[in-house]
Amino acid sequence: MADVVVDTSTVVKWYIPEQHHEQARALRDDFLNGKHDLCAPALMPFEAVNALNYSGHYDGERLHEAAHSLDNYGIELVSFGSVGPVAEIVSTVDITSLRRTCRRTRRDSVHR
């Protein structure tokens, strides 16, 4: 199954009808249907909740519910500490460090 790296702006579109929200929600739905895995930087949930808070669409209980639902998606969150070993690789190969780290993290957890 392929990894798809999502950033905060994509995840926020799951909750707010911004430009390209249809594509973002289709990506989410494909993830929920098992078509691919999602991976994101560990900071993403904090950024997403902050963006929702300042959007004017979410506050109080509604913001709390959105944060809880985001946590329940089960997106693989990659810590910055996981990035270090791939720095040399991404400097010589045309692939993002987060995508490479997601693959490496998943491979290592399967082989343990």
CA 43 to chain centre: 9
Number of folded domains in the chain? 1
Q: What pLDDT digit, counting tens, does each position of 1-32 carry?
A: 668 889 999 999 999 999 999 999 999 999 99
In a domain, 106, yes or no: no
Q: How far apart are CA 86 and CA 96, in angstroms?
A: 10
For residue 74, the enclosing domain spans 3-79
**Which residue is listed with tokens 């639902």?**
69
Q: How far apart are CA 32 and CA 71, in angstroms?
A: 14
In a domain, 23, yes or no: yes
Within the chain, residue ranges assigned H as helices are 8-12, 21-32, 44-55, 60-72, 87-90, 97-110
Asked if the model's pLDDT at residue 88 lies above 60, the reply is yes
In a domain, 41, yes or no: yes
Considering the entire predicted model, what is its pTM? 0.73
Asked if the model's pLDDT at residue 40 lies above 50, the reply is yes
In a domain, 107, yes or no: no
Q: What pLDDT score does 111 carry?
A: 39
In a domain, 64, yes or no: yes
In a domain, 35, yes or no: yes
State the CATH number of the domain containing residue 68.
3.40.50.1010
Q: Nearest-CA neighbor of 78 among 53, 42, 110, 50?
A: 42
Asked if the model's pLDDT at residue 56 lies above 80, the reply is yes
